[in-house]
């Protein structure tokens, strides 16, 4: 069937429109139409091409989504060899000066000659690609290969939206553009995040991500990987008057619709190259992609030609590197660290390695899930990354270098510092020590919190003093605060007679806080001031709170499963109970402030006891109820007001449920009695 002329015109129009929007979105970062409109144009073009396959052209944006899998990559002989550049090993300012000196010498410039003009740009850390445009249409994309012959990766390159399939403006007969394909950091993080969610393997770093995508046999896989591209040079050209300078070439490429990185300058002499080097180094960590240095190029193409090549490297360009942010080393041990808040972090002890400008011997493994996911083991060779001031981290393992005996890491069940149980809520990543008040790793933090204004309000007990008290081993737990005396304090800095007495007075004054403050002061994870108040109001006494199980705790308004579990874990830890007992011995305890029930709730009310209570005998419970004016009966009837049920409660409990009688456990009974 012949293709109607209008269909051909429409397809051409749509191709132009879609590519214009692509350029605006991916290159200029300034979208021109809403996504929905873009999708509509795209689908219309797809439909047209479906109906009239003759309309399908090499530069059609529909070809970006990835075609059929390939058998392999065909070899491509480069019309102009793709050479590499010399790397200046001196990462300091000397590198720029040495390059400038070589250039001046090669050009036989006398000392009196003016400074040479250079184009300075970034050295992108990705994969070099040659894009061949014929009459403005992208016809082939090839990797560098050995410099003479690369591989045809056109299908995969087409999936990169930043690369125009057709050039803007009056296009040369032949224009080969060289540049770097890379994956930006945010795209890399997003992609890995998604892979993890799908339970699929994550990429080790953006560089591997980019290289791996381009060498995907299945272009649909490549299409899923978010890649970027920056042009930085030329290959073969024909039918095009070359600009006079490298800067001019890059400007022309921008005119054709190609992406060129904005961080580039034209400067004069070595001093200005060094300035560029320093300026880019300072912003390296803020760039959304990885660079491993900067590149200096003699700006005038005529001079480039004059300088020529030496052993397959141009004399007119040099890469001036930065210290690497990633390096290989060996995991000597995996240990866990306890942070000030009790967070337990696995840490890899590494064979010392120079990375990110410092020698690194430890790297965080973040948490147990992360260790599992990356499968880091003792003896493994790993890639360590340190970017900026960020804590060094292990980015991945070189699986092929794993020793035969490499046991999996197991998170300890008890805190390595204090021996308390380690808790890890199922839906949380971080494991924590439950030793709170007792754990030396958390001691200072716990004491500061204990003494803080909204907790025990011990005036004058600030960070400096807590440091001195703990470091001098005068105080281990809050109990020790109440055992301090003037003689012991006298040895401390700035703790002369008056200050010491003031502190001791403040400590003494703090002995009878409200129950809410006392609960808050304990520093139970997830228990802030307002939860502490709710707990105090609900339970009425610390004893009642301490024996409450998670079900009971969840009856408190705003206490959900996470908070309930934190509270239960805290009191289950013997070390914490010891601290509370110790405090009671030095007469520190919370006093209930707001009663929950009035006497009328007990006086004249009928109670029935059933089952075994955790810590009260039946006689004891009976005596307590009667002392407050209540009655205790033997069987449940409509007249029963409360049934107090313990373990193995039998038919009385069933009856109570049947009649809708209020059922209390021991803690609730105590709360009622204490009101
Ligand atoms: S120019 C003849 N400019 O670094 C000069 N290369 O060995 C050709 N690279 O693999 C290279 N950023 O992929 C040039 N702004 C830049 C670059 C750059 C990264 C890569 C290139 C090549 C290596 C140079």
Gap from CA of 27 to ligand 1 centroid (Å): 20
What residues contact residue 28 under an 8 Å CB cut-off, 6+ apart? none
Gap from CA of 268 to ligand 1 centroid (Å): 21
Q: Which of 443-447, 497-501, 602-606, 624-628 has the lowest mean pLDDT?
A: 624-628
Gap from CA of 125 to ligand 1 centroid (Å): 9
| Backbone angles phi and psi of 465, in degrees to 5 | -70, -40
Structure tokens at 674: 């204490």
Sign of the torsion formed by the C-alpha atoms of 303, 306, 307 and 309: positive
What residues contact residue 504 under an 8 Å CB cut-off, 6+ apart? 484, 485, 486, 489
Q: Which of 78, 128, 207, 258 to mutate to test the pocket of ligand 1 (most atoms within 8 A of CB)?
A: 128
Active-site residues, by number, are: 123
pLDDT of residue 374: 87
What mean pLDDT do residues 382-406 have?
A: 88
What residues contact residue 396 under an 8 Å CB cut-off, 6+ apart? 204, 205, 374, 382, 383
Q: How far apart are CA 198 and CA 574, in angstroms?
A: 41
Residue located nearest, by CA, to atom 16 of ligand 1: 123
Supply the mean pLDDT for the chain. Answer: 90
What residues contact residue 675 under an 8 Å CB cut-off, 6+ apart? 540, 595, 596, 597, 598, 599, 601
Structure tokens at 380: 């493994």
Does position 64 have pLDDT exceeding 90, yes or no?
Answer: no
328-378 pLDDT per residue, tens: 999 999 999 998 889 999 999 999 999 988 899 999 998 888 898 889 999
Does position 230 have pLDDT exceeding 70, yes or no?
Answer: yes
Q: Could you tell me if 572 and 532 are in contact, meaning their C-beta atoms sit under 8 angstroms apart?
A: no
SS3 534: helix
Structure tokens at 302: 């005529």
Residue 441: DSSP 8-state: G
Does position 398 have pLDDT exceeding 90, yes or no?
Answer: no
CB of 295 sitting under 6 A from ligand 1: yes
309-327 pLDDT per residue, tens: 988 899 999 999 888 888 8
SS3 308: coil
CA 500 to each of CA 474, 481, 616: distance values in angstroms, whole numbers, following the listed order: 14, 12, 44
Structure tokens at 116: 């040479």
Q: Could you tell me if 521 and 456 are in contact, meaning their C-beta atoms sit under 8 angstroms apart?
A: yes
Convert 345-357 into a string of H (helix), E (strand) and C (coil).
Answer: EEEEEEEEEEECC
Find residue 349's DSSP bridge partners: 333, 362
Q: Which of 66-75, 330-339, 575-584 has the lowest mean pLDDT?
A: 66-75
Residue of 71, 99, 104 lying closest to 85 (CA atoms): 99
pLDDT of residue 79: 96
CA 212 to each of CA 181, 323, 619: distance values in angstroms, whole numbers, following the listed order: 11, 25, 76
Structure tokens at 364: 């965080």
Q: Could you tell me if 643 and 662 are in contact, meaning their C-beta atoms sit under 8 angstroms apart?
A: yes
Q: Which of 232, 292, 312, 315 to mutate to test the pocket of ligand 1 (most atoms within 8 A of CB)?
A: 232
CA 233 to each of CA 119, 258, 455: distance values in angstroms, whole numbers, following the listed order: 12, 11, 65
Does position 182 have pLDDT exceeding 50, yes or no?
Answer: yes
pLDDT of residue 595: 46
Pairing of strands 86-88, 317-321: parallel
pLDDT classification of 594: cutoffs 50, 70, 90: very low
CB of 317 sitting under 6 A from ligand 1: yes
Does position 518 have pLDDT exceeding 70, yes or no?
Answer: yes
Structure tokens at 535: 């707990």
CB of 121 sitting under 6 A from ligand 1: yes
416-462 pLDDT per residue, tens: 989 999 988 777 888 999 888 788 889 988 999 999 999 999 999 99
Pairing of strands 265-268, 149-151: unpaired
Which ligand 1 atom is nearest residue 87's CA? 7
Residue of 255, 289, 292, 259 lying closest to 277 (CA atoms): 292
Pairing of strands 86-88, 343-355: unpaired
Gap from CA of 313 to ligand 1 centroid (Å): 11
Does position 596 have pLDDT exceeding 60, yes or no?
Answer: no
Q: Which of 293, 295, 320 to mutate to test the pocket of ligand 1 (most atoms within 8 A of CB)?
A: 295
Residue located nearest, by CA, to atom 3 of ligand 1: 232
Find residue 217's DSSP bridge partners: none
Q: Could you tell me if 380 and 401 are in contact, meaning their C-beta atoms sit under 8 angstroms apart?
A: yes
Q: How far apart are CA 664 and CA 539, in angstroms?
A: 12
pLDDT of residue 487: 85
CB of 246 sitting under 6 A from ligand 1: no
Percent of the chain at pLDDT > 90 equals 59
pLDDT of residue 560: 92
Does position 66 have pLDDT exceeding 70, yes or no?
Answer: no
Residue of 141, 191, 188 lying closest to 163 (CA atoms): 141
Residue of 404, 403, 360 lying closest to 380 (CA atoms): 403
Q: How far apart are CA 323 and CA 356, in angstroms?
A: 6
Q: Where are the beta strands (DSSP E) in 25-159?
A: 75-77, 86-88, 117-124, 127-134, 137-143, 149-151
184-202 pLDDT per residue, tens: 999 999 999 998 888 888 8
Q: How far apart are CA 481 and CA 585, in angstroms?
A: 13
Q: How far apart are CA 223 and CA 209, in angstroms?
A: 12
| Backbone angles phi and psi of 119, in degrees to 5 | -100, 130
pLDDT of residue 598: 52
542-563 pLDDT per residue, tens: 999 999 999 999 988 889 999 9
SS3 469: helix
| Backbone angles phi and psi of 640, in degrees to 5 | -70, 135
Does position 411 have pLDDT exceeding 60, yes or no?
Answer: yes
Does position 126 have pLDDT exceeding 90, yes or no?
Answer: yes
Residues in the chain: 675
SS3 336: strand
What mean pLDDT do residues 243-249 have?
A: 98
Sign of the torsion formed by the C-alpha atoms of 417, 422, 428 and 429: positive
Gap from CA of 123 to ligand 1 centroid (Å): 6
Structure tokens at 303: 């001079």
Half-sphere exposure of 551 (CA within 13 A, CB side): 4
Domains in the chain, start-ordered, CATH in brackets? 5-65 (1.10.287.610), 87-321 (3.30.470.30), 326-423 (2.40.50.140), 436-509 (1.10.150.20), 515-586 (1.10.150.20), 606-674 (3.40.50.10190)
pLDDT of residue 438: 85
Q: Could you tell me if 11 and 55 are in contact, meaning their C-beta atoms sit under 8 angstroms apart?
A: yes
Q: How far apart are CA 593 and CA 65, in angstroms?
A: 68
**CA 33: distance to chain centroid?**
33
Q: How far apart are CA 129 and CA 181, in angstroms?
A: 7
Find residue 358's DSSP bridge partners: 355
Structure tokens at 641: 């007001």
Gap from CA of 204 to ligand 1 centroid (Å): 22
Q: How far apart are CA 423 and CA 66, in angstroms?
A: 48
13-47 pLDDT per residue, tens: 999 999 888 888 888 877 788 888 888 899 999 99
SS3 247: helix
């Amino acid at each position: 069937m012949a293709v109607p002329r209008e269909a051909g015109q429409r397809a051409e129009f749509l191709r132009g429109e879609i590519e214009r929007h692509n350029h605006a979105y991916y290159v200029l970062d300034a979208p021109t139409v809403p996504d929905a409109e873009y999708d509509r144009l795209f689908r219309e073009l797809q439909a047209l091409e479906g109906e009239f396959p003759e309309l399908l052209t090499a530069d059609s944006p529909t070809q970006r989504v990835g075609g059929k899998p390939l058998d392999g990559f065909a070899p491509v002989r480069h019309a102009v060899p793709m050479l590499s550049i010399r790397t200046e090993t001196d990462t300091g300012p000397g590198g720029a000066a040495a390059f400038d000196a070589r250039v001046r010498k090669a050009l036989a410039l006398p000392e009196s000659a003016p400074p040479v003009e250079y184009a300075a740009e970034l050295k992108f850390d990705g994969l070099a690609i040659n894009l061949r445009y014929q009459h403005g249409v992208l016809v082939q994309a090839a990797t560098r290969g050995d410099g003479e012959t690369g591989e045809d990766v056109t299908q995969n390159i087409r999936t990169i939206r930043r690369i125009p399939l057709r050039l803007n403006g009056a296009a040369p007969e032949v224009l080969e553009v060289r540049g770097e394909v890379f994956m930006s950091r945010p795209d890399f993080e997003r992609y890995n995040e998604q892979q993890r969610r799908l339970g699929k393997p994550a990429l080790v770093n953006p560089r591997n991500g980019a290289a791996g995508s381009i060498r995907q046999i299945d272009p649909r896989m490549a299409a899923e990987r978010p890649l970027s591209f920056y042009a930085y040079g030329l290959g073969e050209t024909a039918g095009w008057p070359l600009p006079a300078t490298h800067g001019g070439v890059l400007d022309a490429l921008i005119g054709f619709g190609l992406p060129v990185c904005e961080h580039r300058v034209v400067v004069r002499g070595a001093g200005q190259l060094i300035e560029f080097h320093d300026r880019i180094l300072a912003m390296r960590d803020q760039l959304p992609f990885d660079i491993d240095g900067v590149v200096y190029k003699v700006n005038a193409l005529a001079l480039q030609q004059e300088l020529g090549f030496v052993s397959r490297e141009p004399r007119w360009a040099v890469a001036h590197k930065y210290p690497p942010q990633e390096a290989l080393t060996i995991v000597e041990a995996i240990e866990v660290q306890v942070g000030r808040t009790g967070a337990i972090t696995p840490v890899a002890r590494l064979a010392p390695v120079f990375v990110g400008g410092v020698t690194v011997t430890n790297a965080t493994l973040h948490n147990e899930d992360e260790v599992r996911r990356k499968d880091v083991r003792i003896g493994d060779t790993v890639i360590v990354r340190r970017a900026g001031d960020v804590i060094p981290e292990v980015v991945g393992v070189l699986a092929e270098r794993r020793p035969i005996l490499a046991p999996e890491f197991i998170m300890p069940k008890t805190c390595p510092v204090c021996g308390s149980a380690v808790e890890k809520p199922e839906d949380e990543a971080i494991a924590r020590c439950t030793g709170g008040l007792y754990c030396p790793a958390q001691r200072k933090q716990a004491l500061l919190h204990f003494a803080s204004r909204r907790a025990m309000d011990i005036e004058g007990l600030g960070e400096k003093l807590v440091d001195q008290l703990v470091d001098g081993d005068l105080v281990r737990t809050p109990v020790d605060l109440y055992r301090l005396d003037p003689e012991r304090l006298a040895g401390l800095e700035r703790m002369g007679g008056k200050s010491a007495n003031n502190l001791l007075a403040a400590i003494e004054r703090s002995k009878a806080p409200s129950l809410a403050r006392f609960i808050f002061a304990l520093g139970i994870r997830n228990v802030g001031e307002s939860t502490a108040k709710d707990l105090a109001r609900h339970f009425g006494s610390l004893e009642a709170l301490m024996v409450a199980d998670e079900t009971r705790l969840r009856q408190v308004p705003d206490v959900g499963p996470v908070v309930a579990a934190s509270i239960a874990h805290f009191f289950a830890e013997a070390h914490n109970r010891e601290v509370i007992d110790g405090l009671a011995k030095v007469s520190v305890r919370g006093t209930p402030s707001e009663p929950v029930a009035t006497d009328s709730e007990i006086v004249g009310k009928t109670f029935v006891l059933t089952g075994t209570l955790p810590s009260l005998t039946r006689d004891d419970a009976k005596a307590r109820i009667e002392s407050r004016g209540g009655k205790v009966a033997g069987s449940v009837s409509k007249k029963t007001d409360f049934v107090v049920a313990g373990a193995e409660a039998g038919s009385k409990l069933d009856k109570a449920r049947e009649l809708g009688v209020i059922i209390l456990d021991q803690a609730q009974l105590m709360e009622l009695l204490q009101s």
